[in-house]
A and B are shown apart, each in its own frame.
Chain A
Amino acid sequence: MVFSKKSLQFILAALVACLPLFGFANETQDSLNVHTETTAVAHGHEEAHDLDPNSLEGRKAKIDAFKMHHVLDSHEFSLFEKDGQHFGFPLPIILWDNGVHIFSSSKFEHGHAVAESKGNFYRLGHDEKIYKVESATAELSGDEHHPTNEKVLDFSITKSVFTLMIVSLLMFLLFRSLARSFAKNGGISAGFGRLFEPIVLYIRDEIAIPNIGEKHYKKYMSYLLTIFFFVWFLNMFGLTPLGINVTGNIAITAGLAIITALITNFTANKNYWGHIFWMPGVPTPMKIILAPIELLGVIIKPFSLMIRLYANIFAGHVVLMSLIALIFLFQSWVGGPLSFLLSFALSTIEILVALLQAYIFTMLSALYFGSAVAEHHHDDAHH
């Protein structure tokens, strides 16, 4: 149905642009079915229930809970809710509590029931953490936000872990088929390879070789390529409506930063450690001052890698959720178009940020690897 007359296209575009005007939240019909809460916000769980849902505070508390529910990790993969019925699938829960307990998260019934496993009873707190309770009817003791029950070691497959596995599988299959298509086609790329070959070459020629040098770059290429595509794909997955926020989880970015730190420090040569403890080319008092600073730098550089990726992606998601929540805040015709335009603009920027943060993570990792294998330079200040 492709219209070729310009005026017809204009009318169609104007009609589509007016669609957001018809989207508005009616408090009695479209209510947010909230079953998780945040500990970081001042509004308490009690307040979200006691407050009048039509008042501003009530709506704000619900919106905060809605935002947090969408950016935090979860023990089940919930796709959407309709009239109180959840659509999604439960994920396995794996606990270590004097023995391994494995059961499905559907036993928790979205936080309302107590799960029983091998004689122990567990309950899901409002912060999505699992607590131990005494019996099948016990509630969580203590404050709503900070239950005083005992916590257990949680190795469950949560939404983020599940997404990590899916993305790893996807990357493995994708690049394996790419490599094989190269071999079949005599070294010339075909199909999807035509998209990824320039990117791989860019990482090799503009990121790896300038920073690490011709001699050693091959050792690190596999890691750099993996990190780049892994972070890029995970960021892009976070922008889909599935609500999976993986790189916006500080534990995951911490893992990636730790791996970079380990590789840097364990493949470093004598020059690297020499530059940290006894910086050559500066007068001796400066050397003594520089040593603790450089030692701190060994920790702070990967730390900044972690924070940079985490904060960029997390902040982007939170702002996007807030813009969507504008529809529920303005309960009139203003909310729809305003929210749509702003979130469209922000989503476009977020796509750029996804690629940029992957590139920055890879580039800085390459920079740190380069400093780890740098050869000794003879400067004028040396004797």
Chain B
Amino acid sequence: MEIPRIIGAGLVVIGAGIGIGRIGGSAMDAIARQPEATGKIQTAMLIAAALIEGIGFAAIFAS
């Protein structure tokens, strides 16, 4: 049965999407408050996004 696997993979992608979306949103707010810190905020945002994506991919490959 492939259906539970597909649903599981879909849920993982939803989770990763929500997580990275929230990070992006907070990053936008922070940049709006302090435009001169844009570089550091972007760097931190990319790192956090990559970590979440790592979990997402690992779960997709496991399913």
User: CB-CB < 8 A to B61: which residues of A?
Assistant: 307, 311
User: CB-CB < 8 A to A146: which residues of B?
Assistant: none
Contact: B57 with A312, CB < 8 Å? yes
Most A CB within 10 A of own CB, among B43, B47, B58, B60: B58
B60: which of A206, A311, A356, A357 is its contact (CB, 8 Å)?
Answer: A311
A322 to B: closest C-beta gap in Å: 15
Kindly state the interface size class of chain A when it binds its partner: 10 to 19
Of all chain A residues, which has the CB nearest B47? A363
How far, in whole Å, are A364 and B43 apart by their CA atoms in the complex?
12
Does A291 interact with chain B (Cβ within 8 Å)? no
Of all chain A residues, which has the CB nearest B46? A356
Beta-carbon contacts of B20-63 to A below 8 Å, as 1s and 0s? 00000000000000000000000100110011011101101100
User: CB-CB < 8 A to B51: which residues of A?
Assistant: 304
User: CB-CB < 8 A to A356: which residues of B?
Assistant: 46, 50
Kindly state the interface size class of chain B when it binds its partner: 10 to 19
Contact: B46 with A308, CB < 8 Å? no
Of all chain B residues, which has the CB nearest A42? B2
How far, in whole Å, are A154 and B13 apart by their CA atoms in the complex?
37
User: CB-CB < 8 A to A357: which residues of B?
Assistant: 50
User: CB-CB < 8 A to B60: which residues of A?
Assistant: 311
User: CB-CB < 8 A to B46: which residues of A?
Assistant: 356, 359-360
Does A262 interact with chain B (Cβ within 8 Å)? no
Of all chain B residues, which has the CB nearest A361? B50
B32 to A: closest C-beta gap in Å: 23
Contact: A304 with B54, CB < 8 Å? yes
Contact: A311 with B47, CB < 8 Å? no
Which residues of A (320-361) have their CB < 8 Å from a CB of B? Answer: 356-357, 359-360
User: CB-CB < 8 A to A51: which residues of B?
Assistant: none
Does A153 interact with chain B (Cβ within 8 Å)? no
How far, in whole Å, are A206 and B46 apart by their CA atoms in the complex?
14
Contact: B43 with A360, CB < 8 Å? no
B41 to A: closest C-beta gap in Å: 13
Contact: B58 with A206, CB < 8 Å? no
Does A315 interact with chain B (Cβ within 8 Å)? yes
Contact: B50 with A206, CB < 8 Å? no
Of all chain B residues, which has the CB nearest A308? B54
Contact: A360 with B50, CB < 8 Å? yes
Of all chain B residues, which has the CB nearest A367? B47
B35 to A: closest C-beta gap in Å: 19
Contact: A206 with B54, CB < 8 Å? no
A80 to B: closest C-beta gap in Å: 30
Contact: B57 with A308, CB < 8 Å? yes
How far, in whole Å, are A206 and B57 apart by their CA atoms in the complex?
27
Of all chain B residues, which has the CB nearest A363? B47
Contact: A307 with B58, CB < 8 Å? yes
Binding site for B on A (CB under 8 A): 206, 304-305, 307-308, 311-312, 315, 356-357, 359-360, 363-364
Report, nearest first, the 8 A-B pairs whose CB atoms are least far apart: A311-B57, A308-B54, A360-B50, A307-B58, A304-B54, A311-B61, A307-B57, A363-B47
Q: What are 27 A-to-B residue pairs whose CB atoms are below 8 Å?
A: A206-B43, A304-B51, A304-B54, A304-B55, A304-B58, A305-B54, A307-B54, A307-B57, A307-B58, A307-B61, A308-B50, A308-B53, A308-B54, A308-B57, A311-B54, A311-B60, A311-B61, A312-B53, A312-B57, A356-B46, A357-B50, A359-B46, A360-B46, A360-B47, A360-B50, A363-B47, A364-B47
